[in-house]
Amino acid sequence: MDTTLVLLTAPLLIGELVLKIVALVSLYHRPADQVRGPKAAWAAAIVLLSIIGWAGYFIFGRNEK
């Protein structure tokens, strides 16, 4: 594998992983009444849908009261 490609994609992959972890921790600590929809569905979306999952959770899933 070309080392330039690795050096360019590594920060993106690390950033993706960090944002997934932040979203999952936020979901875990947030009460169920402050989450739009089932928490299990959001957890699955965050883990399985890459950027769509965690971005969707931060934009649509949190219900700020």
Report the number of secondary-structure helices (H) and strands (E) in the chain. 3, 0
**Tokens of residue 33, six digits:** 């009444």
Residue owning tokens 């989450």: 35
Q: Which pLDDT score is estimated for 50?
A: 87
Give φ, ψ of 44 to 5 degrees.
Answer: -65, -40
pLDDT by residue, tens only, the chain of 65 residues? 678 888 889 999 999 999 999 999 999 999 999 999 999 999 999 999 989 999 999 999 998 76
Q: Which pLDDT score is estimated for 19?
A: 97
Strands (E), 1-65: none
Q: Which pLDDT score is estimated for 65?
A: 67
pTM: 0.87
